[in-house]
Amino acid sequence: MDIYAEGTNLIFGQIGHFLLIVSFVAGMAAGLSYYLAVKNSANTEKNLSWINSGRKWFIVHGFATIGTAIILTLMIHQHLFEYRYVYQHSSKQLPMRYLFAAFWEGQEGSTLLWMFWHSIIGFVLIFRAKKWEAPVMTILALAQIMLVSMELGFHFKIPSIDIDFSPFFFSFNWVDYKMGSNPFALAKDVMTLPVFSIDPNFVFEDGNGLNPLLQNYWMVIHPPTLFFGFACTTVPFAYALSSLWLRNYNDWLQPAIRWTLFTLMILGTGIMLGGLWAYEALSFGGFWAWDPVENASLVPWLFLAAGLHTALIYKYSRYSLVPTYLFLLAGMIFTLYSSFMTKSGVLGESSVHSFTDMGMSAQLVISIFVFLLPALWLFFKRYKELPGKKDEEAVSSREFWMFIGSLVFLVSALHIIIFTSFPVINKIIGTKIAPPDIAHYNSVEIWVAIMLLIGTAITQYFSYKQTNIQRLLKNAIGSLLVSIAIATPIIYYFKFYRLDFLLLAVTSVYAVIGNAHYMFRNLKGRMLHIGGSVTHLGFGLFMLGILISQGRQHVVSLNKYGINYGDSFTEEENAENILLYKNEPQMMSGYKVTYIGDSAALPNMYFKVLYQKFDKNNHLEDSFVLTPNVQFNKTMGNVPNPSTHKTFARDLYTHITTAPLNDDGTETDTLLTESKKVGIGDTVFASRSFAIFESLDPNPKLEDIELQKGDIAIGAKLRLYKVDTSYTIEPVYFIRDLVAASIPVKIDDIDVSFSLSKIFPQENKVEITVEQKLRKFIIMKAIIFPFINLAWLGFSLMFVGIALSLRKRLIEKK
Amino acid sequence: MKKTHIIALVFIAVLVGILISMLGDFSRYETFDSPYAQKGNEINVVGVLDKNEKMVYEPLIDPNKFTFYLQDENGGVREVVYKGEKPHDFERSDKIVVTGKLEGDQFKASKILMKCPSKYTEEANQTTSL
């Protein structure tokens, strides 16, 4: 506490909050200037001067926003725990590489991250948007104002009206309202802890720390990428809305297509990194669990993918302008909706990883309507005058089938968002519907994937406007036959004998083969034009990888051999955890698995698990050691981390579910003593053994003690059963000079000792005490994901394909 | 009517079809004593760990059995049996959502979702499911 001399650190918060206010005011000035530039677009001189003013204000705004982020970073770096945000999200032990992870762990930090990316995007737009600068920047500035308002933490009075109807009653009050949550607030000002009333100058010695689940490199790279993607969705929205606003329906398309491609690439990567993280850490239900938070981030991507396809249709054939507007506008609206769902606490009971409510729900809802209402209003106002062909596209045209593809995207997006919104619907109309499970989403979305895959394979063989049907059929059917030939062994090997699995296998191979064929045959592999084909081919591989790895993932640590773990266990029930005693191998799905030891590198405890595979002749074929670990954390409890053995054909996970350790990493008490009263014929259970009480022996043999006169010695004959042998043991009860003692029998190989602790002559019963030293053990789970690498390869190709398309759109001249 | 309109309508019909066909199957948030739960339907119950009762997880006997008592929002208490490992930090959770069915006096859970008390902490929660 003494290192924080009074007041010296207050300057950080003061500068930080000051920059926030500058950012807010400059953002408003920029938005207003750009708005006036649009309003004065007829007057070149005025227009230019307002644009100039807008630029200056936005640059001030952008640097203030970036400055805010730098201050918060410094505060976390300097461990200024007098600040609530720093206290809640970091600690002294937190390694510096997680500095940024702590930065965006909380709502305020993640909003700041979003604002940061908006600022960067704004700088780019100032240089590149040319005649679209004024309207597009007006909208971007408005988005920034909404976001900054969530950081301000201003208190003010708002009017509140209460109306009761029976009896009619009307009251008007001023209530305190807090706008936003300020990341620069001092802990003593915003946290109600008794310690602050005792000592107002109290400063926490250490912070609450970063959740250990989040202490990994994914937390450093996933949120910035995802929020970059979210921020990017603002740009296609801004172009679409600007075009409606200015009634300029053609020129906006080229920049909008470029930004849509860029957004798809970044947002897609952000979502994918989340999936990779969930897959690797295995703690959020695997690669994709259809969690509301995951769904909410996928939906804007689907809308933009639909919008990209309709935009291309319009570019080449003048159809589908109306849906292009709707899809591109929806991209940002659903980004805002996703932020509302994640941050308002509405998902509390249905999501694994949502924030809790911070009393900002109203602001989050308002931010949606601030963009939704003008978008709808302008769209309907301009609807009648939107250009485009009014006749019908031919069924044999490429645009027709691309349009169908966009509709499939739309159905998928609506399905996901409606079903994810049940917590919101429940809140509004008071129903009690629980969100559907993973199986529901999979069972519907698999058909979406099948339709999209067929579309990507066939549509390219169509030409815009009219197609030579014979050539189309020859190509499409030719590559379909090749695909079926390739898919058949896959289906056979993985036993995909289910209509949807079977079709998904065929169609994903079809997407790969069809696109590869088109890419080399028709496009001759020209780098400038193959972007779409590469993306679609990648999608095919991705879906094939998902189908095999998720559809045929299996738990190998099935507990069906060896020891019977008690009466409650039956075959059908899931028993996915296996018990391993140290140095005692078990067979598990072809592997001989042994827990061979552990090593501590606090706060992590590593458990070494040896996997060995033998061939028919008992020669060692394969051998590797996996070291799953458990991380100890005082505030958050222990967190297990899996360890994975990767080959091209499969990933093998090993994951500790239980280890006999205390929270601080010390071993638990391993000596277990139990007594049981038994009659002749009764059984006493011990670790990996049991003993049956056969008889009392009045003349037991004693090895170390010579019997004296007056001594009493009684033995209990026990038949001891171990894994492969059984023999008789005899613990003895012994009295000399009125002092009783037990002489136990120790069984060294299983660390158990039996003693005769009491005798009940009239009942003809005895008490046997079993003392066993528990052997070190772990309970673990092991899962195999076959061919998951295909999915990663597929996604990488999608990324490259979109990048190639973007390059083409950047090179081409309008 | 244009072809695209017809197709769009077909797609909307498909979507509505999915919704309606699913509505009957949805799991609902219920309490243990609600008539819907008593019929043995799959339900989601929101509640807190009843700390007066015993929580049993004995990995050495059966690493795939975990039982505890859950008090739902109406105060009803049932023993919950989960065929799987005890989720890490179970004791620390302040709110628990279990998915499963009532079978006699017991609630057989297929999924446990915990909300941790660490406020403002994203992704602090864990799900465990079979």
Three-state DSSP string of A181-215: CCCCCEHHHHCCCHHHHHCCCCCCCCCCCCCHHHC
Identify whether the C-beta of residue A222 lies closer than 8 Å to the C-beta of residue A274: yes
Between chains, do B22 and A440 touch, taking CB under 8 Å as contact? Answer: yes
Between residues A570 and B23, the one the model is more confident about: B23
State the average pLDDT over residues A346-366.
72
Q: How far apart are CA A144 and CA A119, in angstroms?
A: 8
* Residues 687-706 of chain A whose Cβ lies under 8 A from any Cβ of chain B: 687
Using CB atoms, pick whichever of A407, A436, A636 lies closest to residue B26: A436
Question: Closest approach of chain A CAs to the CA of B68, in angstroms?
Answer: 16
Q: How far apart are CA A91 and CA A208, in angstroms?
A: 6
Between residues A155 and A730, the one the model is more confident about: A730
Work out the pLDDT band at A567, boundaries 50, 70, 90. Answer: very low
The confidence score (pLDDT) of residue A252 equals 95
Between chains, do B2 and A392 touch, taking CB under 8 Å as contact? Answer: yes
Most confident segment among A161-175, A496-510, A618-632: A496-510
Between chains, do A578 and B63 touch, taking CB under 8 Å as contact? Answer: yes
Between chains, do B63 and A657 touch, taking CB under 8 Å as contact? Answer: yes
| Residues of A in Cβ contact (< 8 Å) with B61 | 565-566
Q: Is the pLDDT of residue A565 over 50?
A: no
Question: Closest approach of chain A CAs to the CA of B29, in angstroms?
Answer: 5
The confidence score (pLDDT) of residue A148 equals 95
Using CB atoms, pick whichever of A407, A568, A635 lies closest to residue B7: A407
Between chains, do A436 and B22 touch, taking CB under 8 Å as contact? Answer: yes
Q: Which two tokens stand for residue A299?
A: 């939906």
Between residues A329 and A583, the one the model is more confident about: A329
The confidence score (pLDDT) of residue A572 equals 39
Most confident segment among A162-171, A441-450, A502-511, A743-752: A502-511
Identify whether the C-beta of residue A688 lies closer than 8 Å to the C-beta of residue A775: no
| pLDDT tens for each residue of A622-648 | 899 999 988 776 655 677 888 899 999
The confidence score (pLDDT) of residue A568 equals 40
With tokens 């007057």, the residue in question is A43
Question: Closest approach of chain B CAs to the CA of A440, in angstroms?
Answer: 9
State the average pLDDT over residues A204-208.
84
Q: How far apart are CA A652 and CA A647, in angstroms?
A: 8
Between chains, do A577 and B84 touch, taking CB under 8 Å as contact? Answer: yes
Q: The dihedral of CA A53, A54, A57, A62: what is its sign?
A: negative
State the average pLDDT over residues A471-489.
93
A151–B contact, CB cutoff 8 A: no
| Residues of A in Cβ contact (< 8 Å) with B19 | 418
| Residues of B in Cβ contact (< 8 Å) with A774 | 60
The confidence score (pLDDT) of residue A213 equals 72
Work out the pLDDT band at B119, boundaries 50, 70, 90. Answer: very low
Q: How far apart are CA B88 and CA B128, in angstroms?
A: 9
Q: Which two tokens stand for residue B70?
A: 């859950």
Question: Closest approach of chain B CAs to the CA of A562, in angstroms?
Answer: 13
Q: Is the pLDDT of residue A573 over 90?
A: no
Q: Is the pLDDT of residue A130 over 80?
A: yes
The confidence score (pLDDT) of residue A357 equals 62
Chain A residue nearest residue B36, CA to CA = A432
State the average pLDDT over residues A732-737.
84
User: What mean pLDDT, rounded, does chain B reach?
Assistant: 78
State the average pLDDT over residues A452-471.
88
Q: Which domains does chain B have, with CATH numbers?
A: 27-129 (2.40.50.140)
Question: How many residues make up chain A in this entry?
Answer: 814
The confidence score (pLDDT) of residue B35 equals 86
ipTM: 0.78
Backbone phi, psi, residue A679, to 5°: -105, 180
Using CB atoms, pick whichever of B60, B65, B124 lies closest to residue A211: B124
Question: Closest approach of chain B CAs to the CA of A429, in angstroms?
Answer: 14
Q: Is the pLDDT of residue B116 over 70?
A: no
The confidence score (pLDDT) of residue B124 equals 36
Chain B residue nearest residue A294, CA to CA = B123
Between chains, do A774 and B92 touch, taking CB under 8 Å as contact? Answer: no
| pLDDT tens for each residue of A239-294 | 999 999 999 998 999 999 999 999 999 999 999 999 998 888 766 567 888 988 89
- Of A18, A296, A297, the closest CA to residue A148 belongs to A18
What percent of chain A has a predicted confidence (pLDDT) above 70? 92
Chain B residue nearest residue A89, CA to CA = B121
The confidence score (pLDDT) of residue A637 equals 63
Q: Which two tokens stand for residue A810?
A: 């950047």
State the average pLDDT over residues B95-101.
86
The confidence score (pLDDT) of residue A571 equals 40
Least confident among A410-424, A754-768, A782-796: A754-768
Between chains, do B63 and A577 touch, taking CB under 8 Å as contact? Answer: yes
Chain center to CA of A393: 42
Q: How far apart are CA A221 and CA A429, in angstroms?
A: 39
| pLDDT tens for each residue of A530-540 | 999 999 999 99
Between chains, do B88 and A638 touch, taking CB under 8 Å as contact? Answer: yes
3-state helix, strand, coil in chain B (%, to 5): 20, 35, 45
Q: How far apart are CA A699 and CA A713, in angstroms?
A: 7
The confidence score (pLDDT) of residue A4 equals 47
Q: Is the pLDDT of residue A136 over 60?
A: yes
Other CB atoms within a 10 A radius of the CB of residue B73 amount to 14
State the average pLDDT over residues A720-725.
80
B76–A contact, CB cutoff 8 A: no
Q: How far apart are CA A367 and CA A188, in angstroms?
A: 30
State the average pLDDT over residues A700-719.
82
Question: Closest approach of chain A CAs to the CA of B48, in angstroms?
Answer: 13
**SS3 of A795, please?**
helix
Between chains, do A434 and B99 touch, taking CB under 8 Å as contact? Answer: yes
The confidence score (pLDDT) of residue A667 equals 58
Cα angle for residues A541, A542, A544 (degrees, 5° grid):
65
Q: Is the pLDDT of residue B40 over 70?
A: yes
Using CB atoms, pick whichever of A88, A211, A403 lies closest to residue B123: A211
A214–B contact, CB cutoff 8 A: yes
| Residues of A in Cβ contact (< 8 Å) with B4 | 392-393, 400, 403
Buried b / exposed e over A232-268, threshold 16 CB at 10 Å, is bbbbbbbbbbbbbbbeebeebbbbbbbbbbbbbbbbb
**SS3 of A658, please?**
strand
With tokens 């780098």, the residue in question is A527
Identify whether the C-beta of residue A113 lies closer than 8 Å to the C-beta of residue A68: no
The confidence score (pLDDT) of residue B1 equals 56
Interface with chain B: mutation pick from A88, A408, A437, A570, highest number of B CBs within 10 Å: A437
State the average pLDDT over residues A136-155.
93
| Residues of A in Cβ contact (< 8 Å) with B121 | 88, 105, 211
The confidence score (pLDDT) of residue A636 equals 58
B51–A contact, CB cutoff 8 A: no
Q: How far apart are CA A685 and CA A196, in angstroms?
A: 56
Work out the pLDDT band at B120, boundaries 50, 70, 90. Answer: very low
- Of A16, A21, A400, the closest CA to residue A179 belongs to A21
State the average pLDDT over residues A528-550.
94
Q: How far is CA A646 from CA A343, A373, A640, A785, in A?
A: 36, 50, 19, 10
DSSP code, position B40: T
Identify whether the C-beta of residue A780 lies closer than 8 Å to the C-beta of residue A656: yes
Chain A residue nearest residue B87, CA to CA = A657
Q: How far apart are CA A74 and CA A541, in angstroms?
A: 44
Other CB atoms within a 10 A radius of the CB of residue A113 amount to 21
Work out the pLDDT band at A3, boundaries 50, 70, 90. Answer: very low
Pairing of strands B28-29, B43-49: parallel
The confidence score (pLDDT) of residue A5 equals 47
* Residues 108-127 of chain B whose Cβ lies under 8 A from any Cβ of chain A: 111, 113, 115-116, 118-127
Identify whether the C-beta of residue B111 lies closer than 8 Å to the C-beta of residue B126: no
Interface with chain B: mutation pick from A211, A343, A452, A671, highest number of B CBs within 10 Å: A211
User: What mean pLDDT, rounded, does chain A reach?
Assistant: 87
Identify whether the C-beta of residue A767 lies closer than 8 Å to the C-beta of residue A677: yes
Q: How far is CA A15 from CA A10, A48, A118, A139, A187, in A?
A: 9, 33, 21, 28, 17
| pLDDT tens for each residue of A293-326 | 899 999 999 999 999 999 999 999 888 899 999 9
Q: Is the pLDDT of residue A570 over 60?
A: no
